[in-house]
Amino acid sequence: KNEVEQSPQNLTAQEGEFITINCSYSVGISALHWLQQHPGGGIVSLFMLSSGKKKHGRLIATINIQEKHSSLHITASHPRDSAVYICAANSNSGYALNFGKGTSLLVTP
Amino acid sequence: DAGVIQSPRHEVTEMGQEVTLRCKPISGHNSLFWYRQTMMRGLELLIYFNNNVPIDDSGMPEDRFSAKMPNASFSTLKIQPSEPRDSAVYFCASSIQVDYGYTFGSGTRLTVV
């Protein structure tokens, strides 16, 4: 089983700060997903990546396959970014997602 | 597209009762997943369907749990009999194929008392 570790577990930032959330995994994968879960509970898929970097608005996701590591960056953070961010790795079998425990982010005004 | 639709949003039931959770995937998506989320264990895969066929049900906790996908637009997850430890949020997700991104439903929050 692919162990997926996230850090930090909890993060508090002031509005405008640059935020980084880290994710590492133990075995080879076909893809890495970043998910966002708001207090209401719904889960939104932010990124799926297998190499390099992807950007969407103020969010940037990077992955280093050799180091088995991915990061999610949020630039110019805003209170509406407050949510739990979950990293999930697709196993090489393709379909199974192994989830990290999530990073709870609170952005204060 | 309305996205992945789950019902009900909330369910409170007494121990021993049968519970049925429903999911309508996005049209054209041929992969469907049921996940369970608890504080202790986080998100866990329960079962995966591809083209309406169950491919992997190794995450189904025990025989009290069963899932069906009678057609491409509908799936159910049934718990019979329910127990308090089944209390969790159950998510359904679909994908156009396994190595594409996933779309999650809003989840069903189940409370068994």
CA distance B17 to chain A (A): 25
Q: How many residues are given for chain A?
A: 109
Nearest CA in chain A to B6: A42
CB pairs under 8 A between A and B: 51
Q: What local confidence, expressed as pLDDT, does residue A27 receive?
A: 81
Q: Do A42 and B98 touch (CB under 8 A)?
A: no
CA-closest candidate to residue B94, choices B52, B50, B32: B32
Residue-wise pLDDT for B6-33, tens only, equals 999 999 999 999 999 999 999 999 999 9
At A1 the pLDDT is 66
* Cβ contact A54:A39 at 8 Å: no
Residue pair B101/B95 in contact by the 8 Å Cβ criterion = yes
Q: How far apart are the first and last CA of chain B?
A: 36
pLDDT value of residue B99: 63
Contact A1, A92 (CB under 8 A): no
Which pLDDT value is given to residue B24? 98
Query: Residue A7 has what pLDDT?
Result: 96
pLDDT of residue A21: 98
Residue count (chain B):
113
- Do the Cβ atoms of A95 and B31 come within 8 Å? yes
Cβ-defined contact of A100 to B42 (cutoff 8 Å):
yes
- Measure in Å the smallest separation between the Cα of A46 and chain B Cα atoms: 9
Above 80 in pLDDT, residue B1? no
pLDDT, tens only, B53-112: 999 898 998 899 999 999 999 999 999 999 999 999 999 999 987 667 889 999 999 999
Residue type, B63: D
Can you tell me the mean pLDDT for B31-55? 93
What pLDDT does B62 receive? 86
Instruction: Return averaged pLDDT per consecutive 10 residues of chain A, 109 residues in all.
Output: 88 98 90 90 90 95 95 97 94 78 96
For residue A2, what pLDDT is reported?
66
CA-to-CA dists, residue A78 to A11, A18, B11, B57, B77, angstroms: 13, 10, 33, 40, 38
Q: Tell me the C-alpha to C-alpha distance, in Å, between residue B84 and each of B58, B80, B89, B113.
A: 21, 12, 13, 6
Q: What DSSP element (H or E) covers A88?
A: strand A83-91
Q: With contacts defined as CB-CB under 8 Å, which chain B residues touch A46?
A: none
Query: Scanning the structure block, which residue is given the tokens 């805003």?
Result: A78
Half-sphere exposure in the Cβ direction for B33 (13 Å, CA) = 24
